[in-house]
Structure 1
Amino acid sequence: MEYTSPLNHIVLHYPRSELTVLSIRSHLTGETLFARRLISFLREHKFHSILERVVTFTSIPSDLCQKELVKNIRDETKGEGYVVEIIRSDQTSYLVKIKTNKYLQLHHCKDSVNSLQHLFENVINEQTDDLRSLFKDDLVALEKITKMEEQVRPQFNQMVQSIEQFYEENKHLSRKDYAILINNTSSIKKIYMKLLMNLYADKINDYKQFALMHAKDLFGINDNCQTLSIADVEQKE
């Protein structure tokens, strides 16, 4: 059986609470019944209430090859996917799960929302709009995304602005005087030295990569994916 509800979901959102019967297994023989055999068993024994909760199923056309079947399921945009019964030539069978690409993507993104480090990376790489579209019905996930944006974006923008502004105002100086001024300017973090010298040498800075490398020092995201307060970050500096 599988229980789903709006408050008890891992990846997909379910609008109402529901209990679904997937299969039954005999404790004596170990035999498992599902699909048509399960329906027949429940009807025979008049288990009408259980019959109403059996998961829906469909037959696969005999001329549909396995590769095409997998592709068709992967391309679907609703639901998790299917459990497929593969019947061998000797009429024995086995079950396989085939998930949709949309579900697999959601599952991966769910990990991103639950991990502050991964969520931080999504904000820096400007991927949160896509993340929001995947979790438009998940208020908890949306709140996590918003909080990370509010923590990270202003700091990132301020970092880029302060570095670019310092360079523009002091690029006329000699290399030696420019480097000395960096060290003597209290408003400029010493960790920015390489970025500032890159600009002086007419090199292009990868600010996003720099931010990812210094997630803990600059943004309070530590190696254990726990946030530090801004005061703690400034105190360490």
Structure 2
Amino acid sequence: MDLATLHALNETRRGRQAAILVTDLDSGAVRLVRETDQLDDEPLAAHLAERFRTGRSGTVDVEGGGALFLTVSLPPPRLVVIGAVHISQALAPMARIAGFDVTIIDPRTAFATTERFPDVALLPQWPEEAFETIALDPFTALAALTHDPKIDDFALSAALSADCFYVGALGSRKTHAKRLDRLQALGLPGEVTARIRAPIGLAIGAQSPAEIAVSILAEIVGALRTRGTDTLLSR
């Protein structure tokens, strides 16, 4: 790999961007393709889209292009949870086991304590303040769990604007309908707010906070593994 390509790869990693090193196994030539790049090579583009979605590196044979090795570099997925609630206490350790970097945000300092959330990044701040230091991006999932519009609404709006791969919110369908009205009043069009998964989590009949956390994490993993497609798990 030449130095310029290495620098470009390191830059994409620092910027939490997805990229693939495409190595021609016959010539040894290497080039970097970012997920945001537009490709004219349709056969290779299909392979790249699949690899960006799955995160798996490997060899592909492209008609007219020979054997190529695709080395996939994806940012580690993050989960930002709005609300230091009982569901969050169960969700945080589960998500960490599943490979997510987890951050809990809640301005209510009585809830956002290290005693309740040991070994988890905890920000006792309003989302408006927290997002000055945590940049949301397409490899971030956001789960809004406070049930308080003053806390959740800004976070949801910011997550949609940042194109987070998953945006979910706690609440009934009636509560969510009112939420959509508020967000649309802030200028978010209906096709954007339609991305919010609410009621949050897969419909598995969850009752306890731990069961709800399982349903949320399952829905987040499903969204991560179907990024870039219109496929959604059945609710």
- TM bucket, shorter chain: under 0.3
Q: TM-score, normalised by structure 2?
A: 0.24
Structure whose alpha-carbon radius of gyration is higher: 1
Greater fraction helix = 1
Larger % of strand: which? Answer: 2
Specify which structure has the bigger relative contact order, considering alpha-carbon pairs within 8 angstroms and separated by 6 or more residues: 2
